């Protein structure tokens, strides 16, 4: 009887078509929001030794799942993170805003640093470059966890705005993070095999970082604009790659 009461209390939404629509929408939204995190994880883990790359991705994404589930368990606390702490520049800053700004600054710093070393790798000499490119597994996981926290809080607050059913939030988060787990290695391999994609991905991270900072200061940029720009840039780069491959094949034919 107790089990029946539990299901009646927590899964009554199963018979509600509106709840299913909310679940599908939230799953898609969580997957889209996870793209940012996935690009960062792919770029970061590609700098590790080959044998550590896959474990690092799995550990980082597993940590993201655990973090999201823990945050869902403390959802009443997470909702309070949107309450203003102080006012400056005409904007009431909450803990969420401060976390987004800190995460955005970290992303901008990280992407700028990687772009600098990609564009001008020989500026400080080979020894300095070798030292710069070295990244320990612990260091990679630490950086992944920092961004996991930022994206997780934003993800959970988004979920809260979509539905009141905690079960729907749990299912959406688990499905989205599982999709990230499946896509992580193929995406990382694609980025590694196509060097020009690295610069494009770093540009995405730079844009995402600036968007997080703007959001923290109260200037919300619709996600649709961001992902449309990313999709258009990826399409242009895909056409460039196709043109280069056909040019190479044409040259081989002669």
| pLDDT of 129 | 39
223-253 and 17-45 helices cross at what angle (nearest 10)?
Answer: 50
**Number of compact structural domains in the chain:** 1
CA distances from 192 to 19, 66, 171, 217 (A): 40, 28, 32, 35
- Start-end of H helices in 46-165: 50-73, 75-80, 95-119, 125-133, 137-162
DSSP sequence for 142-204: HHHHHHHHHHHHHHHHHHHHH-S-HHHHHHHHHHHHHHHHHHHHHHHHHHHH-HHHHHHHHHH
3-state secondary structure of 87: strand
| pLDDT of 208 | 80
Q: Domain limits at 24?
A: 17-249
| pLDDT of 128 | 43
Q: Is residue 236 part of a domain?
A: yes
Q: Is residue 172 part of a domain?
A: yes
Q: Is residue 204 part of a domain?
A: yes
Q: Is residue 159 part of a domain?
A: yes
CA 234 to chain centre: 17
Q: Is residue 207 part of a domain?
A: yes
Tokens matching residue 252 = 């081989």
Q: Can you list the residues of the chain whose pLDDT is less than 50?
A: 1, 3, 6-8, 124-133
Query: What's the pLDDT tens digit per position in 222-242?
Result: 777 777 887 888 888 888 878
What is the distance between the alpha carbons of residues 222 and 209, in angstroms, rounded to a whole number? 14
Q: Is residue 224 part of a domain?
A: yes
Q: Is residue 1 part of a domain?
A: no
What is the distance between the alpha carbons of residues 105 and 112, in angstroms, rounded to a whole number? 10
Q: Is residue 5 part of a domain?
A: no
- The residue assigned the tokens 């997080």 is 212
């Amino acid at each position: 009887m107790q089990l029946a009461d539990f299901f009646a209390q927590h899964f009554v939404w199963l018979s509600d078509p509106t709840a299913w629509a909310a679940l599908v929408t939230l799953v898609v939204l969580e997957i889209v929001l996870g793209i940012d995190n996935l690009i960062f994880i792919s770029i970061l883990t590609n700098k590790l030794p080959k044998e550590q790359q896959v474990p690092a991705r799995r550990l980082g994404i597993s940590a993201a799942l655990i973090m999201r589930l823990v945050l869902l368990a403390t959802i009443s606390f997470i909702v309070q993170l949107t309450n203003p702490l102080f006012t400056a520049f005409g904007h009431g800053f909450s803990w969420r805003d401060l976390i987004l700004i800190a995460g955005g600054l970290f992303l901008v710093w990280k992407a700028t640093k990687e772009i600098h070393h990609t564009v001008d790798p020989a500026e400080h000499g080979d020894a300095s470059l070798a030292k710069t490119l070295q990244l320990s597994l612990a260091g990679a996981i630490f950086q992944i966890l920092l961004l996991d926290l930022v994206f997780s809080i934003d993800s959970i607050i988004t979920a809260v705005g979509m539905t009141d059913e905690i079960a729907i939030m749990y299912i959406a988060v688990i499905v989205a993070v599982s999709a990230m787990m499946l896509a992580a290695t193929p995406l990382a391999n694609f980025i590694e095999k196509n060097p020009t994609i690295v610069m494009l991905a770093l540009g995405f991270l730079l844009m995402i970082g600036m968007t997080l900072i703007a959001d923290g200061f109260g200037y919300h940029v619709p996600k649709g604009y961001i992902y449309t720009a990313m999709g258009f840039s990826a399409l242009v780069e895909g056409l460039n790659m196709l043109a280069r491959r056909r040019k190479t094949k044409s040259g081989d034919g002669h």
